[in-house]
Amino acid sequence: MINKPKNPRDLCIMACIFCREPAFLAWLGQLATPHVVFTEAMAKDFILEACGVASRNDLDRNPAAAERFHELVRKPYLAWKNPGADADGTYDGFAPPGGYQ
């Protein structure tokens, strides 16, 4: 189950940050066949398509879209970025040094 965001725009903000992260763009590029160099705009389009929304704001208003964001984008990306971390970004229930990603 998804915890209620502390800020009503948490998922939108997270999606926007991901789209600007070079590591997120690299992760998306590795998913593509053939390999593609992703831009911020392409990353945004990927999130919108994967989550079935018209705007990243919808991630905070639509529970089904929020679930898709977590399962199809956030969890796989963080698992790629932090190998060895649990699906929630922790290591055996403990946050990594420096806190959550």
For the stretch 31-76, pLDDT in tens is 988 888 999 999 999 999 999 999 999 999 999 999 999 999 999 9
Domain that holds residue 73: 10-80
ω into residue 8 within 30 of 0, thus cis? no
Rg (CA), the chain: 13
Q: In this structure, which amino acid lies at residue 49?
A: E
Specify whether the CB–CB gap between 18 and 47 falls below 8 A: yes
Does some domain include residue 90? Answer: no
Specify whether the CB–CB gap between 57 and 76 falls below 8 A: no
The structure's pTM equals 0.77
Going by pLDDT thresholds of 50, 70 and 90, the confidence category of residue 85 is low
Total domains, the chain: 1
Q: In this structure, which amino acid lies at residue 51?
A: C
Does some domain include residue 1? Answer: no
Does some domain include residue 88? Answer: no
Does some domain include residue 47? Answer: yes
